[in-house]
Amino acid sequence: MTEADGRTTAAVSLDGGWRRLPAPHLSAYLAAFHDRPVAGLAGEEIEGRHMALPLPEPGKVICCGLNYADHIAETGRDLPAHPTLFAKYADTLTGPAAEIRLPAGLDVDWEAELAVVVGAEIRGASRAEAAAAIWGYTIANDVSVRDWQRRTLQWFQGKAWDRTTPVGPVVVTADELDPAAGLQVVCRVDGVERQRGDTRSLVFDAAALVAYVSTFTRLRPGDLVLTGTPGGVGMAMTPPAYLTDGAVLETEISGIGVLRNRIAFTKE
Amino acid sequence: MTEADGRTTAAVSLDGGWRRLPAPHLSAYLAAFHDRPVAGLAGEEIEGRHMALPLPEPGKVICCGLNYADHIAETGRDLPAHPTLFAKYADTLTGPAAEIRLPAGLDVDWEAELAVVVGAEIRGASRAEAAAAIWGYTIANDVSVRDWQRRTLQWFQGKAWDRTTPVGPVVVTADELDPAAGLQVVCRVDGVERQRGDTRSLVFDAAALVAYVSTFTRLRPGDLVLTGTPGGVGMAMTPPAYLTDGAVLETEISGIGVLRNRIAFTKE
């Protein structure tokens, strides 16, 4: 979180108060201390000013598309045999209350998602190993520039605009949250609910995705795996609807919190 | 390059000898010294043992598919209006003489490519700015796991297997090499030529690709942009042909050098 002096610190919520962790953010914290119990490293209580991007430096941000049955149906596709994956970079991420700035004239859409925070170094993990390697869960909105996403066969160029994927506001550790028990994944645009999904209906759940990705690439503490978005995106509306200048995008998951990001179109 | 003690160092070839640069590899060198003339930083002459991966820590490795007219034709597609882009991570790369290890049973294909090394931090660059930001050129082979690439709509999971994209053996600075003048991009499998393209026939040339990518994401010194592969890949042969256990993959570009990588299938 960001403190009064503008610097950020990793912090842990214990007994209702936020206590300092010995790193400027959770990316650095997990790189150093992923195998240590968090409570043992908690320092003095602090008063944060606001929540910053908790994981600003993931080595990998790997995203799953088409993972909720209702969203797959709205894109007109069949249920998949394998997860559809694409990549983002650390630069793509932004804070839980940050303004999302994009050039005017783009078709900017919303995609509320549960994000998995990896807590161990793994490659070729079984499902059980993958489950054990999940450090926690956070919220992301895979804000997508649809016209660029659809310029070619590959979605990447519509998914990797710098500082357009808000993440946060906190990471809830895996011992405190179970997506298999059913979390509500909700997206609101200017107060109107546009998406509501239940993580019980994920085609590939968190452990399955982490295991699958680890088949081809090493995942490390602080890496993020985004689990896909439920139905209700703007491009599937009739007619399609996209984010407007000044729109307020809220992304909420029960048990984690809410991201609140304003869209700002620039004239560059 | 790797020295006798097994450590790596960045180095520059001047007057026929290799001289030490003050960094363990070109990723670190470019992060610190991208705006300094190389010759001014050259230290004592060294005897390298062999060439290592010159850029082991790029922040971004962004690849263009479908960029040579003949390769586009063999995939049965029309000439594109926009470059098709996908992402790799630093973990995907490997050295110019490294063994490429993959599990047995995959359809592993070759894609010889010219790779652009970015030498400045740029975002929203014009073509001229992008051209000025190109530090040099190297060789890559975008070795692709075709069955995973085609499992879903997104190629990423077939393109991002750890340590499967060889890069090197050297980077030739942009003042010494001009792809627009025509470089031969060649791939041989067990001594048989399978690909030969000319960089004059790129649909999107190096400066165009760098400028396009910088529209949506910041590129930094040491980042790599792969420019796509010419015709002659294995999956387009009749019947399709893939790399076999022990195959020797050679990737050569005139004026840069040659990568020579042996394929080793593992039983894991």
Residues 83-122, chain A, touching B (beta carbon < 8 A): 83-92
Give the pLDDT band of residue A16 (cuts 50, 70, 90): confident
Average pLDDT, chain A: 96
Q: Which residues in chain A touch residue B203, judged by CB atoms under 8 angstroms apart?
A: none
- Set out the domains of chain B in order of their start, with CATH numbers: 1-50 (no CATH), 53-266 (3.90.850.10)
Choose among A79, A97, A61: nearest CA to A203.
Answer: A79
pLDDT of residue B268: 63
- Reply yes or no on whether the pLDDT at A202 is more than 80: yes
- Reply yes or no on whether the pLDDT at A18 is more than 70: yes
- Reply yes or no on whether the pLDDT at A241 is more than 90: yes
Q: Which residue has the higher pLDDT, A70 or B228?
A: B228
CA contacts within 13 A on the Cβ side of A261: 36
Beta bridge partners of A138: A115
pLDDT of residue B75: 79
B78 Cα to chain A: minimum distance (Å): 12
Q: How far is CA A210 from the centre of its chain?
A: 14
Tokens 């982490």 appear where?
A: A210
| Mean pLDDT of the region A155-164 | 98
Whole-number Å distance between alpha carbons of A27 and B109: 35
A162: which 2 tokens? 């710098």
Q: What is the DSSP letter of B265?
A: E
Q: Which residue has the higher pLDDT, A15 or A68?
A: A68
Q: Are the C-beta atoms of residues B110 and B225 closer than 8 Å to each other? A: no
pTM recorded for the entire structure: 0.97
Q: Which residues in chain A touch residue B226, judged by CB atoms under 8 angstroms apart?
A: none
Q: What percent of chain A has pLDDT over 70?
A: 100
Question: What b/e string do you get for A209-236 counting C-beta neighbours within 10 Å, with b at 16 or more?
Answer: bbbbbbebbbbbbbbbbbbbbbbbbbbb
- Reply yes or no on whether the pLDDT at A268 is more than 80: no
Whole-number Å distance between alpha carbons of A110 and A235: 9
Give the pLDDT band of residue A242 (cuts 50, 70, 90): very high
| Mean pLDDT of the region A183-199 | 97
B92 contacts A162? CB cut-off 8 A: no
B91 contacts A87? CB cut-off 8 A: no
A149, amino acid identity: Q
The verdict on B154 touching A (C-beta cutoff 8 Å) is yes
A1 Cα to chain B: minimum distance (Å): 25
B84 contacts A86? CB cut-off 8 A: no
Q: Out of B80, B92, B218, name the one closest to residue A91 (CB).
A: B218
The verdict on A79 touching B (C-beta cutoff 8 Å) is no
Phi, then psi, of A198 in degrees rounded to 5: -120, 130
Q: Out of B153, B216, B218, name the one closest to residue A157 (CB).
A: B216
Which residues have CB under 8 Å from A225's CB, separation 6+? Answer: A62, A63, A64, A115, A116, A118, A206, A209, A210, A213, A219
pLDDT of residue A172: 97
- Reply yes or no on whether the pLDDT at A118 is more than 90: yes
| Mean pLDDT of the region A145-158 | 98
- Reply yes or no on whether the pLDDT at A15 is more than 90: no
Residues 29-48, chain A, touching B (beta carbon < 8 A): none
Closest residue on chain B to A218 (Cα)? B162
Weakly modelled stretches of chain B, pLDDT under 50: none
The verdict on B75 touching A (C-beta cutoff 8 Å) is no
- Reply yes or no on whether the pLDDT at A69 is more than 70: yes
